[in-house]
Amino acid sequence: MFQLENIMGIVVTDKDGIIKSVSSHSDDLIPSLIGVKWYNALSIPVEESYKAEDKYPKVFRLIETGQKITVYPSYGERGDVSGLHILVEKTSFGEVPTQFLNKMLCLGKIVPGVAHEINNPLTFVSGWLQMFLLEAHDTDPKKKTYKALIKEFERIARLTNNLLEFAKQIPKSKKIFDVKQVIEDVVIMVGYTMKNENIEIVKNLSFSELKMAGDSNKLKQVFINLLQNSREAMSNGGTIYLNANLTRDNSIMIQFRDTGCGITKDQLDKVFCPSYTTKADETGTGLGLSVCKTIIEEFGGTIDLDSKEGEGTIITIMLPGYSAD
């Protein structure tokens, strides 16, 4: 039987394993974990996580800290599993919670303040640009520059708000949008910088429209993250091949393939873990691909990564297409 003083955190999920609430020993709520698969949040291998579906509690031991994770199935009125209750316990040496729990606790606390500090100067500068634009004559060459700058400031504001929404896990209503347009927007955002770094983006977008339902800004966040990863893997330049098409079952398949350095076979099983990073200098947050995976799964899709060291990386995303029928 567990002792209350040994409990570092309690995680509650729904029947699909998605975290619905989290509390720490200090009664702090960690809202940024909400919406994440429990095994991703706690760095449990997917193949091991299925053992938690047994009728009896399943105990996991984290390799990094030796912490004990005990998973208790919850049952509904019909006797089927309705969710999980997960206890994160101290080790015998009194280590702190997992790195990811610490990171997400900090993220949930600092993001609102950071977003506020960014949005204030953005609003101020954007206001002056709007005034300059109104005063500029149609023949003024600076008018085009003002419009471009205003658009970029609006993009930064949207990205900041996306980060704030992720930290707070604010639900948004679904809308129909074109995936091709999202890809085009993202390429425009990052294309200029990559061109200066001798990186070429080659697009192959089939079909006139690739429609789906959801929050297009979240998908944009995923694409920006994946392109940034490819960019960092090609320090001497290279090519990113971006393909998108519709499959026979009305699914949208999107592939990012780069000619970068690739990753080792040992790293492949860890890249979607929240606290893992392949960056040797440890400058990465270890959250990028984990966040991408969470967002894609929210859409009802899947994301897979295949890579060979020295030969590049291929990321395949499958998303449910929209049908009016």
Asked whether residue 122 falls in the same domain as residue 138, the answer is yes
Q: What are 28-68's pLDDT values in tens digits?
A: 444 456 777 877 777 676 656 666 656 667 777 665 555 67
Same domain, 56 and 114: no
In this structure, are 81 and 213 located in the same domain?
no
Kindly tell me if the per-residue pLDDT of 258 is higher than 90.
yes
Among 39, 69, 95, the domain boundary falls at 95
pTM of structure: 0.53
pLDDT of residue 168: 56
Compute the C-alpha angle 315/321/323, nearest 5°.
Answer: 175
Assess whether 15 and 71 both reside in one domain: yes
> Is the model's pLDDT at 219 over the cut of 50?
yes
**Each residue's pLDDT tens digit, 123-182:** 778 888 888 888 888 888 888 888 888 888 887 777 677 666 555 555 555 789 999 988
Evaluate whether residue 325 is within a structural domain.
no
The verdict on 200 and 291 lying in the same domain is yes
Work out the burial of residue 27: count CB atoms within 10 Å of its CB; fewer than 13 is exposed, 13-18 middle, 19 or more buried.
exposed
Residue 27 counted as domain residue? yes
Same domain, 187 and 302: yes
Give the CATH number of the domain where residue 127 resides.
Answer: 1.10.287
Q: What pLDDT is stored for residue 3 in this prediction?
A: 43
Report the chain's mean pLDDT, rounded to a whole number.
Answer: 75
Domain count, the chain: 3
Residue 88 counted as domain residue: yes
Let me know whether 273 and 198 are in one domain: yes
More confident residue, 5 or 74: 74
Model pLDDT, residue 180: 92
Domain carrying residue 139: 102-168
Q: Which residue has the tokens 């294309």?
A: 191
Whether 252 is in a domain gets the answer yes
69-124 per-position pLDDT tens digit: 788 877 666 667 778 877 776 554 444 444 545 555 555 556 666 676 777 777 77
SS3 per-residue string spanning 50-85 = HHHHCCCCEEEECCCCCCEEEEEEEECCCCCEEEEE
Residues 229 and 312 in one domain: yes
3-state secondary structure of 211: strand
- Boundary residue ending a domain (168, 192, 210): 168
Beta strands in 114-250 (DSSP E): 175-178, 199-205, 211-214, 238-246
> Do 160 and 197 fall into the same domain?
no
User: What's the pLDDT at 174?
Assistant: 72
Q: Are 219 and 268 in the same domain? A: yes
Residues 222 and 266 in one domain: yes
267 and 138 in a single domain? The answer is no
Domain boundary among the residues 142, 168, 194 is at: 168
Question: Please, are residues 218 and 298 in contact by the beta-carbon 8 Å criterion?
Answer: yes
What does the pLDDT read at residue 1?
39
